[in-house]
Amino acid sequence: MDGVVPSFPSIFAFSGGDGDVFPERLAVDAPDVVITGAKQRKDELVSPSVAKKLQAADRGFEGTWTDECRPGEAVSCIEGESLTWDSGTITQIVKEGNDSFTTRKADRTIKATLVDGRLVWDFGGVWVRHTTKSIFEGKWTDETHPGEAITTISDDKLAWASGDVSQLTRDDSASFSTTKGGKTYQAKLSHGKLHWNYGSIWIRADSVCIDGEWTDKKMPGGAITTISGADMLWASGAKGVLKDHGLNRFSTSKGAKAYTAHYAAGQLVWNFGGIWVRYTKVDFDGQWTDKFRPGEAISTISGNSMTWASGQITEIQRTSHITFSTLKGDKTFNAEMVDRELLWDFGGAWIRYSQDGQTSRK
């Protein structure tokens, strides 16, 4: 492969200001799944009828999902309260509010939260909605010289790093052929890599999608920066342009300073030393009861309103993404979510109380 992309320094020297910081994310293999209950090969595309359904109005968790880092290679389906994995395993989901749910797989409880249209799992994986886009589409680079040359596949065209464009012809669901300089080459997608008949192996050079809200890892919720495509809105209110250099490498400028970042392990790591993580508000809504006297007194939180077991209603004010305060009588009380428990500054510890009368720490 020919062509060169910008190189990034391995040592960072800048220091950020205005409470702004940058992060990175870990690519975690998406669990395999089945679509609409019938097993589907990883290399097959979703039918047009399913794709049409996905274009309908937002349906919450329902639909087909795929790993953000390996789109199309593994596809999961959520229908109602059932999650069907590629292996054929079906697990039940338990909703926690409107934007999160838990499910049990391999004797382990895992949680997913809907953030900016993506399912963010507590094990580090991120799922996006699966579309009919070709499984070959995206940026690719040679495995032995990653980043030195980037080739892009879009629709049925292959744009080489040299600038040449050739037509792509699908041979089957996992392979294609193309002609360059009078020679025909074949490539087969296997385990996320393109294996060429001339011996080269390509790996994906696509950067993960980092759209959403980000916050400093050391001060979560203290300053929030928003990224949407190439647009970047710093916590200070300054606007910037974010450039994607492939392989999870990004750059931007603020004032007269230029910054670079790389994404790994779910974080954006910046050359000024900052580390950003995704900002996700904790959902406090639901019924709560004392951890040590479960069921004796039940309080309910809904939005910015809190109904105490006594019937008194108070307003809650978020003070960070995991804390809030409320005024009861002439006293202000503060609560913090820690390990799915509400810990109060008056010494109380609350856990969730489910509709069937059983306490829950999910």
What is the DSSP secondary-structure string of 154-166?
A: ETTEEE-TTS-EE
Lowest mean pLDDT among 234-238, 276-280, 291-295: 276-280
Integer angstrom CA distances of residue 290 from 201, 254, 287, 300: 58, 48, 11, 12
Ranges 1-5, 11-15, 98-102, 194-198, most confident: 194-198
Comparing CA positions, the residue from 65, 79, 77 lying closest to residue 126 is: 65
Lowest mean pLDDT among 44-53, 284-293, 300-309: 44-53
Identity of the residue numbered 90: I
Instruction: Identify whether 10 is part of a domain.
Output: no
CA 341 – CA 362 distance, rounded (Å): 9
CA 249 – CA 100 distance, rounded (Å): 29
Are the beta carbons of 67 and 126 closer than 8 angstroms?
yes
Instruction: Identify whether 325 is part of a domain.
Output: yes
Q: How confident is the model at residue 28 (pLDDT cuts 50, 70, 90)?
A: very low
Residue ending a domain, choose from 94, 109, 129: 129
Comparing CA positions, the residue from 98, 96, 122 lying closest to residue 354 is: 96
Comparing CA positions, the residue from 144, 146, 153, 136 lying closest to residue 192 is: 136
pLDDT score of 7: 38
Task: Quickly list H helices, the chain.
Answer: 48-54
Residues 6 or more apart in contact with residue 296 via CB below 8 angstroms: 289, 290
Integer angstrom CA distances of residue 90 from 64, 94, 184, 318: 14, 13, 43, 37
Claim to verify: residue 269 and residue 333 sit in the same structural domain: no
* Residue 119, helix vs strand vs coil: strand
Instruction: Identify whether 102 is part of a domain.
Output: yes
Length of the chain: 362
pLDDT score of 146: 83
pLDDT score of 132: 56
Q: What percent of the chain has pLDDT over 90?
A: 32
Instruction: Identify whether 161 is part of a domain.
Output: yes
Residue ending a domain, choose from 164, 186, 204: 204
**Greatest CA span in the chain, whole angstroms?**
83
pLDDT score of 197: 94
Claim to verify: residue 161 and residue 215 sit in the same structural domain: no
pLDDT score of 30: 35
Instruction: Identify whether 181 is part of a domain.
Output: yes
pLDDT score of 59: 60
Structurally, the chain folds into a number of domains equal to 4
Claim to verify: residue 306 and residue 333 sit in the same structural domain: yes
CA 146 – CA 140 distance, rounded (Å): 9
Going by their DSSP bridges, the two strands 126-129 and 63-67 should be labelled as antiparallel
Reported as a single tens digit per residue, the pLDDT across 44-59 is: 444 444 444 344 334 6
* Residue 300, helix vs strand vs coil: strand
Claim to verify: residue 146 and residue 113 sit in the same structural domain: no
Q: How confident is the model at residue 123 (pLDDT cuts 50, 70, 90)?
A: confident
pTM over 0.85: no
Residues 6 or more apart in contact with residue 339 via CB below 8 angstroms: 361
Instruction: Identify whether 11 is part of a domain.
Output: no
b (16+ CB within 10 A) / e for 81-91: eebbbbeeeeb
Calculate the dihedral angle through the C-alpha atoms of 31, 35, 41, 42, rounding to the nearest 10 degrees.
-40
Task: List % helix, strand, coil for the chain (3-state, nearest 5).
Answer: 0, 45, 50
Lowest mean pLDDT among 83-92, 236-245, 323-332: 83-92
**Phi, psi angle pair for 232, to nearest 5°:** -135, 125
Are the beta carbons of 28 and 124 closer than 8 angstroms?
yes
Q: Between residues 126 and 241, which one has the greater pLDDT?
A: 241
* Residue 49, helix vs strand vs coil: helix
Res. 355: pLDDT tops 50: yes
Claim to verify: residue 106 and residue 152 sit in the same structural domain: no
Instruction: Identify whether 218 is part of a domain.
Output: yes
Q: Between residues 356 and 311, which one has the greater pLDDT?
A: 311
pLDDT score of 249: 87
Mean pLDDT of 100-125: 87
Claim to verify: residue 244 and residue 309 sit in the same structural domain: no
Encoded tokens for 13 = 């020297």
Q: How confident is the model at residue 117 (pLDDT cuts 50, 70, 90)?
A: confident
pLDDT score of 47: 45
pLDDT score of 73: 67
Please, what is the Cα angle at 72 between 70 and 77, to 5 degrees? 110
Residue ending a domain, choose from 245, 261, 278: 278
Claim to verify: residue 189 and residue 155 sit in the same structural domain: yes
Which structural domain, as residue segments, surrounds residue 241? 210-278
Mean pLDDT of 320-331: 88
Integer angstrom CA distances of residue 43 from 23, 29, 74, 77, 86: 32, 15, 8, 16, 12
pLDDT score of 206: 75
Instruction: Identify whether 19 is part of a domain.
Output: no
Claim to verify: residue 113 and residue 162 sit in the same structural domain: no
State whether the Cα torsion 171-177-179-183 is positive or negative: negative
Compute the mean pLDDT over every residue in the chain, rounded to the nearest whole number.
78
Claim to verify: residue 269 and residue 214 sit in the same structural domain: yes
Encoded tokens for 56 = 């309908």
Claim to verify: residue 292 and residue 346 sit in the same structural domain: yes
Q: Between residues 322 and 345, which one has the greater pLDDT?
A: 345
